[in-house]
Amino acid sequence: MNYSEYPVTFSLIALNVIFSLIGLSSRELVSRTVMWPYGVKRQKQLYRFITSGFLHADLMHLFFNMFTLYFFGRNIEYLFTQLELGGTFSYLALYFGALVISDIPSYLKNCDNPNYHSLGASGAVSAIIFGSIIFSPWDSVYLYGAIKLSALLFAVLYIAYCIYMGRQNRDNINHDAHLWGAILGLVYTLLLIAVKNPELFSSIIEELKKPSLFGH
């Protein structure tokens, strides 16, 4: 795949990989950049809303999020440009806006808990997924390169998994942010279409009429 075709997606993946790999070997970096609502509130460390989104708990967490961003991010980057929906600016606004906004519920719930920490690109990746499936819900996705699913089914399973893991509370991954990121991705993309190219709604509706659980 040529980098020049999808520069934003590949740049975001590269930043996530580099920052996460450094973080996996540096507790000091993680301590300074992970989402810590208690510190954000008392020390005004607002940058943590962004930096925590480029950290991952382990290699599997990093791979799963970057695999998802690779598939759906390229789709968003292409469609936002080709369909005159704001191109790079709209894509980056969705990604970074989701990083911040999807963390707000967890921040409000845990801002007085000094022991709460979270990390991951959860909110941004979910926003990209649900923004993308508005245009092509029945496209094929190959989970782990082998299991064929429709994009919409993949998205539903992705969110279900994250809600389940969020309730287990077994790690520092902010699984709750997936749900809020998904909502933001849907709302943002629909508003973007309504403002910039409302004629697209007719083709989107037609696409929804051709369901396929395992993708076309």
pLDDT digits (tens, 9 = 90+) for 69-83: 998 999 999 999 999
Domain boundaries defined on the chain: 3-208
Residue 145 pLDDT > 70: no
Domain 3-208 CATH superfamily: Rhomboid-like (1.20.1540.10)
Whether 169 shows a pLDDT value over 70: the answer reads no
Contact 129, 75 (CB under 8 A): no
| CA dist., res. 78 & res. 68, Å (int) | 16
Least confident among 39-43, 147-151, 171-175: 171-175
Specify the pLDDT at position 74: 94
Contacts of 208 (CB under 8 A, 6+ apart): 137
d(CA 59, CA 105): 26
Q: Report which of 96, 121, 214 is spatially closest to residue 174, judged by C-alpha positions.
A: 121
- Residue 26, phi then psi, degrees to nearest 5: -140, 100
Look at residue 213 in the predicted model and tell me its pLDDT: 80
Least confident window among 46-60, 73-87, 135-149, 168-182: 168-182
The first and second tokens of residue 131, run together, are 């923004």
